[in-house]
Amino acid sequence: MEGATLALTAALCALAAINVASFAAFAIDKAQAKARRRRIAESTLLWLALVGGSPGAYAGRCAFRHKTRKQPFVRRLHTVAALQVAALGAGAYLLLR
């Protein structure tokens, strides 16, 4: 059981780190946009969300009012989040049945 606890702790730490990175990426991209400097690619922001940083991405969008009007980006982010929710639901179903 100790190994499982360690694995769960490591997974939660990794998930927290990717969400902090995702949130920070939105903050940096917003600052770069205001300064009219080189931006973080939308594909990078979406990749961070895809690997588990969706909550951080949504928090960054809200906190910095960033990428709220770009409909193609918003649709892609919603799709990523929906896929993650579906995967979590499927995983929970398989574990609990």
* 3-class secondary-structure state, position 41: coil
Indicate if the pLDDT at residue 14 is higher than 80: yes
Is the model's pTM score more than 0.85?
Answer: yes
- Confidence at residue 35, expressed as pLDDT on a 0 to 100 scale: 97
- Tell me which residue of 69, 72, 70 sits closest to 80, measured CA to CA: 72
Tracing tokens 């910095």 back to the chain, one arrives at 64
Residues 37-88 have pLDDT tens digits of 999 999 999 999 999 999 999 999 999 989 888 889 999 999 999 999 999 9
Print the domain residue range for 83: 2-96
Question: Cβ contacts of residue 30 below 8 Å, gap of 6+?
Answer: 64, 65, 66
Question: Cβ contacts of residue 84 below 8 Å, gap of 6+?
Answer: 52, 54
Q: Total structural domains in the chain?
A: 1
